[in-house]
Amino acid sequence: METRFSSKLVNAVRKGPLHAAILLICLIWFIPTFGLFVSSFRPANLILTTGWWKAFKPPFVFTLENYYKVITTSNMGRSFINSLIISIPSTVMPVIIAAFAAYAFSWMKFPGRDALFLLLIGLLVVPIQMTLIPVLRIFNRLHLTGTFFGIWLAHTAYGLPFAIYLLRNFIGELPVSIFESARLDGANHFDIFFRLVLPTSMPALSSLATFQFLWVWNDLLVALIYLGGTPTVAPMTVTISNLVNSYGGGWELLTSAAFISMILPIMMFFFLQRYFVHGILAGSVKG
């Protein structure tokens, strides 16, 4: 017992500097978010003239005026709903399609399978900016510009290469014995996919959905190009970018607006943080 306790103590002492460094990095990373949170409750004149750390010196002055203005006069409530309408289908669609494609690339044999998969991998290095003008011209001809369906298609197309790559690495490493036993029992590809692959791949599917949702929720470029600044369909990122007028006024509202947009991603991170590890490690280790 003493030997085991001493070995644990030695390991703790050795890892002490590493843990301290990690805690320090986390603290430095958290300070801007905390400063944004404090500033969102300060009056506009104090935000413009003093730093957020002075809010803890008397007299203490906090207000909900910034949140009230953002929600009531800046169309933030409607933009929040628009972001949900955009993000949820733009997450579900690529995850479902990528799951089917990943299974096909992993366990189905067809001509050109490897070449097609390499082509998909190559799409990962293609900058999104190169596709904006051609896709926008196609959307204009099909009258998809400024519609939710058009932005769903755009986010699905942009997210599929990474989604297929991630799920293929995970599904491709599943034990062969599972598929052989299923085939001996007379299961076809649909039975194997829905009854075996999907339940087994839930960690990878959950992590992919988390990554995709956060990327779509925080996206500004794709939404600005394919939706424009129309208030009826504009997500929160576009609305926040329009808060500051051409003369630089109204930027104090960015504190509360930015924190409103951060609430849902922060909640997802704390509740689904274990899936980030699964997403990073999916398919990277055999066995």
Q: What is the pLDDT of residues 57-87, one digit of tens each?
A: 888 888 888 888 888 877 888 899 999 999 9
Taking residues 42-46, what's their average pLDDT?
Answer: 86
What is the domain extent for residue 23? 2-65
**Whether residue 40 sits in one domain with residue 159:** no
> Do the domain assignments include residue 114?
yes
pTM of the shown model: 0.81
SS3 for the chain is: CHHHHHHHHHHHHHHHHHHHHHHHHHHHHHHHHHHHHHHCCCCHHHHHHCCHHHHHCCCCCCCCHHHHHHHHHCCHHHHHHHHHHHHHHHHHHHHHHHHHHHHHHHHCCCCCHHHHHHHHHHHHHCCCHHHHHHHHHHHHHHCCCCCHHHHHHHHHHHHHHHHHHHHHHHHCCCCHHHHHHHHHCCCCHHHHHHHHHHHHCHHHHHHHHHHHHHHHHCCCHHHHHHHCCCCCCCCHHHHHHCCCCCCCCCHHHHHHHHHHHHHHHHHHHHHHHHHHHHHHHCCCCCC
**Whether residue 225 sits in one domain with residue 111:** yes
Dump pLDDT digits (tens) for 228-285. 877 789 999 988 888 766 445 667 788 888 888 888 887 877 777 666 665 555 544 4
Q: Which of 42, 65, 88 lies at the terminal end of a domain, its last residue?
A: 65
Domain total for the chain?
2
Contact 208, 102 (CB under 8 A): no
**Whether residue 82 sits in one domain with residue 146:** yes
**Whether residue 58 sits in one domain with residue 163:** no
Residue recorded with tokens 């909900």: 64
Dump pLDDT digits (tens) for 107-166. 888 898 889 999 988 888 888 999 999 999 999 999 999 999 999 999 999 999 999 998
**Whether residue 264 sits in one domain with residue 166:** yes
**Whether residue 109 sits in one domain with residue 215:** yes
